[in-house]
Structure 1
Amino acid sequence: MLEALLLIGLGIVTATMANLGIAVFNDGLRPIVPENLEGRMSRKELGVTAFAMSFGLVIGYGIPISISGSILLIHSILLGTDIIGLSFKRGKLSTAAAGALGGVYGAGIYFGLQAVVKAFEMLPLNFIDGFNKIGEPVVVSFMVFPALAIALQFSIKKGVIAFLVAALARQLVVFSNTKGLIQIDGTPVVLSPEGIALIVGMAFLITFAMKEKSEDQSLSTLASMFTDRVTRIKKFSWIVMISGGLAAAATNLLLIAGDPISLSLLADGKISEGGIASLAKAIGFVPLIASTAIATGVFGPVGFTFVFGVGIFSPNPLVAALLGALVIFLEIQLLSKMAKFLDRYPGIRASGESIRTSMTRVLEVALLIGGANAANAIVPGLGYFGIAGFYLLNEAAGRPIVRMAVGPVGAIAVGILGNILVLLGLYTPPQ
């Protein structure tokens, strides 16, 4: 009951915030919302845009990954409430209706996912176990994104250096764990190889970005031009705090996760590693979320996404909710100082887009490999054939399905096809 109430509450609050233009989850929508708030775009156009930008990601990305780990990827919920909130006109009754529908959507996602998983388990060919392989390459591949971001923003040479040092750090941690070199009171300490590699890569990225320093104070565009928009975000901080608290509490219960990497780790019972990955991802996204929030006056319903790490490391849901709300409050209060910092270090501000691009590319590759492995585990031989064909035909058709979704959706399609073959007597699952 608590889990369902948390998702219903999260759906109500986030759909309401989207409707009022206070906060939206899709980074691409954030710069568009002010166009409607300031009268340059109709509400109908905004709703259609939100649907076009988010619906495919909900169906093809959020839900399949949620099924693979039996933990809800936050995109499944918040991209949906973006669509709901922005599709309704602003007004007392319509805003209330948007919030109510957001709550219904949250309940539908919670109970619907359970029903889908149970339905899959009843099929003659249960492909849930094979489907879980989708997340395996994601965890290892994720540590590449800082090196790729460096290569995109600075130079391929610097990217290669960061990649090699991060890879070396990973292997040193593997060696240390194997030999038990790090101990506390005689007890070996096991570190996360991928987590350490990620930290090393992020250290390189931040170091290179901070070398680009602006000495011309007249260029302080964020801090000086968007004071009113930062003030608007602070005005509505209380409702964003509620959203952050609900998200942190739900994460503490392992009900939701903020990204596919931490979701895969949490699904495998690697709580600490999942928390580290979640915090590293949040650090990487600060420049992008902060700069778009400052420039538009529209925040994110989970802030800079640190609330997920807070939820993972909290001892219980109540503490997670309180800390999550506090973290959102501090993030909003620090926006003005962040604007000055981003103006002072333009390399950090510019890194937001390169980080987003690199994460997207890494996930595209990792989820395609994971989808292929899952599909082949479900129906050996046919699985690789199906994913390869699905990917290439999707590209030839102009990419109607985003690349990140091809692996998970393809694996589901192979699973359904495998069940049809079993029913027709054309395939016998291995015992």
Structure 2
Amino acid sequence: MAGAASAGGKSLDFSFAQQATVIVLCALTALISHMALAVFNDGVRPFMLDFIQGRSTRSATTAVSFGLSAGFIFGLGAPMALSTGVLNPWLLFLPTDVLGLLAPKKWLAPLLGGAWGALVIFGLGGANEVAHDLPVDFLTAMQQMATPILFLFTLFPVLAITRQFGKLRGGIAGVVELALVILTMKLWPDVFPGAAAMAVGVVMLIGFATAKDIRQRRADRAAAKAEAGIGSDSGSGSGAGSGAEGRQVSEAELEDPMQSLFSASATRLRRHLPLFMVLGAGVCLLAQMHVFGGGEATSFLIAKGDYSGAAQVDFYRVFGFIPLIATTALASGAYAIAGFTFVYPIGYLLPSPWLALLAGAAVFALEVLALSWIGRMLGRLPSVRDSSEHLRNAISESLWLAILFGSLLAANTMGGGLGILIVGGLYLLNEAMGRVVVRMAAAPAAVLVGGVLLNLLYGLDLFTPVKS
């Protein structure tokens, strides 16, 4: 699978249609963020309720958004875009979260968002050319991150199964995934070998969780029947009391403040359904243009032209984020800029931009209208909901290791032992200082800083670039 292992960076030269799409979409996402209708950062969304209800100021909410986003923008979004030549949501949508919330006037938000989109489009290409002309080409070296990210990411379902259902089932899932990777590499060398393995792993996880929920519901029904039988034997007086208690429970459920909040949030989002449909159309169109990847592994797959592999990777990721996005949206009244992210894989696979516009609008309409129903279903399937949490943690853990290992490979490529010392040392220093830069972004940021330092040392005649 040479393609995936050596995913080269694409050129950052965009067509006029691609430039216009990025600028308009950044303007739109900044406007939506200003209106507190949606943000990309999952960590910011829980804070939006206080802002919407007037208990928090715009400046305070902006500070929270910037604090939670800056590390990902400059430590992950920019390095990934420069090394792959593919745009990503951390570089486009996290800044528009901040700029939209920062803007004091509604008309200013889309101007700031559009300006950021233009800066990315026209500034990134220039930075890319300058970096490639340096004696130590650290951007090309960063392509070494591709192989660890693509292959280690494949294991996230195994980690999730192990954490939720124990060592035995986790071990079985690991053996199955390894066998599928080897089989795919042997029989279908042009196919991303992790695709089938991830699919089977996610299906196994959901199957285990669903089976557990079904067993629990059967046990609960059996217990309820047994209690009902005992109650009927105790006489009509007890039955009347039980009925009254049942009515009291129903009334309490109807008056549940969380249910009331969820209903109000869903209604608020539905009132702006046309705007969300435009947003969905724009995100899906950007994905269809193949200059955008929704994740770390996806960016490298898009860079090498494996759009079906990218679609599969982002489709499997969806299952780790549906419960988080749905519950935080219902609790806060603010949706996610990319929705449940179904528009990513759909966009990658569609042959026409017009189909992407229609599909994106339709998908977002369905998602917003189905939010309340999804919230109720998640309440009835606690194990499936827990699986989502385990999936998200497993994705973060596998990507953290892959990015760290890939960054050290990049450091070795550009500077040998000295490169590893600088990049690894910066990473360890960040850990010792309490993670000034978030862990996921610390290693790529260290590669960028290390590359600049190695070029300075070369200029001082203190370092000779490693021969490739």
Q: In structure 1, what is the equivalent of residue 153 of structure 2? A: 142
Cα offsets for 1:78-106 (capped at 9, x unmatched): 111111112234xxxx0111121011111
Mapped contact 1:134–1:408 kept (Cα < 8 A):
no
Letter in structure 1 aligned against 2:140: D
- The 1-side partners of 2:213 and 2:123 are apart by 48
Letter in structure 2 aligned against 1:311: G
Q: In structure 1, what is the equivalent of residue 49 of structure 2? A: 34
Match of 2:99 among 84, 97, 104: 84
- The 2-side partners of 1:192 and 1:124 are apart by 33
Equivalent residue runs for 1:210-359 within 5 Å: 210=210, 211-213=212-214, 215=217, 226-359=262-395
Deviation at 1:265, TM superposition (A): 0.8
Deviation at 1:174, TM superposition (A): 2.4
Q: In structure 1, what is the equivalent of residue 197 of structure 2? A: 197
CA RMSD of aligned residues (A): 2.1
Mapped contact 2:100–2:110 kept (Cα < 8 A):
yes
Deviation at 1:421, TM superposition (A): 2.5
Mapped contact 1:223–1:336 kept (Cα < 8 A):
no
Letter in structure 1 aligned against 2:202: M
Mapped contact 1:223–1:340 kept (Cα < 8 A):
no
Cα offsets for 1:92-130 (capped at 9, x unmatched): xx0111121011111111212111101112223333321
Q: In structure 2, what is the equivalent of residue 185 of structure 1? A: none
Deviation at 1:223, TM superposition (A): 6.5
Match of 2:436 among 393, 400, 405: 400
TM-score, normalization by structure 2? 0.84
Structure 1 window deviating more from structure 2 (127-136 vs 364-373): it is 127-136
Mapped contact 2:261–2:330 kept (Cα < 8 A):
no
Q: 1:393 to 1:52 in 2, by over 3 A?
A: same
Equivalent residue runs for 1:1-80 within 5 Å: 1-80=16-95
The higher radius of gyration belongs to 2
Mapped contact 1:378–1:415 kept (Cα < 8 A):
yes
Mapped contact 1:65–1:260 kept (Cα < 8 A):
yes
Matched residues, number: 416
Letter in structure 1 aligned against 2:395: M
Deviation at 1:225, TM superposition (A): 5.5
Matched, 1:131 2:142: yes
- The 1-side partners of 2:149 and 2:259 are apart by 37
Mapped contact 2:280–2:361 kept (Cα < 8 A):
yes
Matched, 1:111 2:122: yes
Cα offsets for 1:59-95 (capped at 9, x unmatched): 1111111111111111111111111112234xxxx01
TM-score, normalization by structure 1? 0.91
Structure 1 window deviating more from structure 2 (70-79 vs 354-363): it is 354-363
Cα offsets for 1:348-398 (capped at 9, x unmatched): 223333222221111111101111111111112222222221221111111
Cα offsets for 1:143-164 (capped at 9, x unmatched): 1112222233343443333222
Identity in percent: 34
Match of 1:381 among 387, 399, 417: 417
Q: In structure 2, what is the equivalent of residue 181 of structure 1? A: none
Letter in structure 2 aligned against 1:42: T
3-state secondary structure, aligned to 2:462: coil
